[in-house]
Amino acid sequence: MEDLLIHLSGTGPIQQQVYEGIYAALQDGRLEPGQRLPASRTWALQLGVSRNTIRDATAALIAEGWIEARVGSGLYVRAIPVQNRSPVSASSASLRMSEWSERLPLETFVLPSKDVDVDFRPGVVSSDAEQVFRRKRLARWPTDTLPGPLAEYGQPEGDARLRARLAAYLRQSRSVRCTDADIVITTGTHQSLDLLSRLLLGPRTSFAMEDPGYPVAADIARLSGCRLLPLPVDEHGVKVEDIPHGIAALYCTPNHQFPLGVTLSMERRKALLARAARENFVIVEDDYDCEFYDGTMPSPCLQSVDTEQRVIYLGSLSKTFAPAFRLGFVVSPPWLLDTLRRAKWVVDRQTSAHVQNTLLQFMVSGDFASHLSSMRQEYKRRRATLLDTIRNRLSRWLTPLESNCGLQISARVNAGFDVDALCRIADEEGVGIYKGAVFSSAGRASDMLVFGFGGTPVQQITKGLCLLESAWQSEDHSLRTGPV
C-alpha cells in the first residue's frame, strides 16, 4: 500500500491521534487482514509527523494484536476490531429522498437462480462468445487504424469511425435507414431507455408496452412518473387495436418479441406506424438478438419502413458478445438527435473509449464478422435441437410458438395440463424452465413456458428435455388440471 489517509483529531498527543486514526481505519473496514501498511518514512511525510510517532503508534497496535511486523517486509494488518455501527439519529431518520427515489422498485427484476443441472434461463449467452476477448490478437491493432485516445474525452455520441462501421452493419443486416451521424453510442439498452425516458416521458404522460414484455423497460419508464399501459401480445405480436389513445410513446420488440419470441405481422406493422403518425406518438423499437437467425433472415426492422420519423431504433452488443460488454446504440430521428447528444453528455459524458476501441478493432480486423458467423451457426444448432426435441418428445404437453431468430423460444402448455406442476417436476429433475407469467404485470402468459438456449450447449439441451419427457410421463396424472 502506498497511501493511507487517516483522520487526526487535533486533540491530545500526536502519537495518540495517529494510534486512534489507524484503529478507526481498521474498525471502519478500510483495511483488511493481510493488507500491508505504508512504509513508516512515506507515511510520516504524508501525515506531516515524525517517523518516531508512526513507530510508537504502531507499536501499541502490535502489542494489542491488530497489526504485525514481518522481518524485511514491513507492517501488516493481523486482525480487525469488531465494527460498531452508529445508531440512526432522529434527525437523519427524518431526511427525505426525492420522488424519483420513491419510484424505484423495491426489487430489481432478475430471474431467480435455480440450482439445476440443465438451465434454460432466457437472456444468457454462450460462454464461447466471450472467448473472443481472450485472444492474443486483441493486443494488435490493424496498421491503418489507431485507437481512440484515452487521455482526453471524446464526443458524447461516440467515436465517429465506430459509428460509421455500426451504421454500415445496420444498413446491411437490418435495413436500418441511417448514417453515422444518426447514431448515439450508449452503455447498453438500459442507458438508451433511461435517456429516452428522461426526454420523452413525465408525470402527465402515458407509456405503452408489450405484456408480457421486458420488465426492466417498465421499471425505467416508471421512474419518470408516467402512467404504464400494458398491451396484450398474441402469436402475431402486440395487439395494435388495443393501443389506447393519448399515449406519448410505445416500447416494442417487433422482430423477436420478448419473451414469447413471435414476430409482429406485416399487417400490424403498417397499422402501428399509421396510428403513431395519426396520433402523434413515438415508437421505441428494441431490435435485440435478431442477428441470430435460423434459415431466412428476419423481417427488416420497423424503422426501415417508417416514413414519418416516429421510430427510435435501439440495439446493443450484449447478446453478440456478452452482457458485461456494455455498449449499445440509439439510431435517432433528426428531431431528437441534438437533444439526445446533449442528454448523453450531461448524464454520462461518453461511453468508455476503451470499450469503443475494442469493438472498432473487432469490426476493422474482420473478427466481428467471423465471430458473428461462428456464433450464428452454434445458436442455429441449439435452436434446431430445442425445437425438434420439443416437437418430437414433449408434444403431449407443449406446443412451441413460431420463431426464427433470437436466443429463446416459448411454448404453450397444452390444454388440460398445469403449468405449476410441470415446473415443479422440472425443478425436482434438475431442469430449469421459466413461466411466461413472470414477465407480465397483468397476469398474462399464464399458459406459457420460456426456454432460453443461449447458455445451454446442444448436449445439455437434449439431456434436459429427455429428463422432462421421462419425468412428465411418469407423473402424467398429477400434471392434469381437471378430471382425467
Residue closest to 228 by CA, chosen among 313, 244, 238: 244
Check whether residue 291 and residue 393 sit in a common domain. Answer: no
* CATH number of the domain enclosing 66: 1.10.10.10
Task: Please check the confidence at residue 184 and state whether its pLDDT lies above 70.
Answer: yes
| Beta strands 237-238 and 249-252, pairing class | unpaired
The cell numbers describing 94, all together, are 427524518
Of the three residues 365, 395, 415, the one that is the final residue of a domain is 365
Checking phi first, is residue 403 left (phi over 0); if not, alpha (psi -120 to 50) or beta?
beta
Task: Please check the confidence at residue 446 and state whether its pLDDT lies above 70.
Answer: yes
Q: Name the domain count of the chain.
A: 3
Check whether residue 408 and residue 329 sit in a common domain. Answer: no
pLDDT 10s digits, 247-276: 999 999 999 999 999 999 999 999 999 999
pLDDT value for 223: 95
Cβ neighbour number for residue 407 with a 10 Å cutoff: 25
pLDDT value for 482: 61
Check whether residue 241 and residue 155 sit in a common domain. Answer: yes
pLDDT value for 139: 47
Check whether residue 290 and residue 173 sit in a common domain. Answer: yes
3-state secondary structure of 59: helix
CA angle, corner 230, sides to 226 and 231, nearest 5?
135
Check whether residue 167 and residue 219 sit in a common domain. Answer: yes
Of the three residues 335, 365, 395, the one that is the final residue of a domain is 365
Gap between the Cα atoms of 217 and 240, Å rounded = 19
Task: Please check the confidence at residue 88 and state whether its pLDDT lies above 60.
Answer: no
CA angle, corner 155, sides to 342 and 202, nearest 5?
20
Of the three residues 77, 97, 131, the one that is the final residue of a domain is 77
pLDDT value for 90: 62
Confidence of residue 97 (pLDDT cuts 50, 70, 90): confident
**Position of cell 439526445?**
340
Domain of 231, in residue numbers: 150-365
Confidence of residue 110 (pLDDT cuts 50, 70, 90): confident
Residue 262 lies in a domain: yes
Residue 418 lies in a domain: yes
Residue closest to 197 by CA, chosen among 336, 58, 291, 353: 336
Check whether residue 19 and residue 155 sit in a common domain. Answer: no
Query: 40 with 1: CB under 8 angstroms?
Result: no
Higher-confidence residue of 321 and 341: namely 341
pLDDT value for 86: 55
Cβ neighbour number for residue 156 with a 10 Å cutoff: 20
Check whether residue 30 and residue 158 sit in a common domain. Answer: no
Gap between the Cα atoms of 214 and 189, Å rounded = 11
Check whether residue 220 and residue 252 sit in a common domain. Answer: yes
* CATH number of the domain enclosing 171: 3.40.640.10
Query: 298 with 290: CB under 8 angstroms?
Result: yes
* CATH number of the domain enclosing 404: 3.90.1150.10
Gap between the Cα atoms of 221 and 202, Å rounded = 9
Residue 402 lies in a domain: yes
Confidence of residue 230 (pLDDT cuts 50, 70, 90): very high
pTM: 0.82
Residue 101 lies in a domain: no
Check whether residue 154 and residue 295 sit in a common domain. Answer: yes
Mean pLDDT is lowest, of 65-74, 232-241, 250-259, 380-389, for: 65-74
With b for 16 or more beta-carbon neighbours within 10 A and e for fewer, the 80-99 pattern comes to eeeeeeeeeeeeeeeeeeee
pLDDT 10s digits, 120-129: 999 888 887 7
Gap between the Cα atoms of 281 and 274, Å rounded = 10
Residue 82 lies in a domain: no
Residue 163 lies in a domain: yes
Read off the pLDDT of each residue in 377-403 and give the average, rounded to a whole number.
94
Residue 103 lies in a domain: no
Residue 258 lies in a domain: yes
pLDDT 10s digits, 326-347: 999 999 999 999 999 999 999 9
Check whether residue 256 and residue 158 sit in a common domain. Answer: yes
Check whether residue 284 and residue 346 sit in a common domain. Answer: yes
Check whether residue 345 and residue 384 sit in a common domain. Answer: no
Read off the pLDDT of each residue in 136-145 and give the average, rounded to a whole number.
53
**Which spans in 83-188 are helix H?**
90-93, 99-102, 160-174
Higher-confidence residue of 273 and 99: namely 273
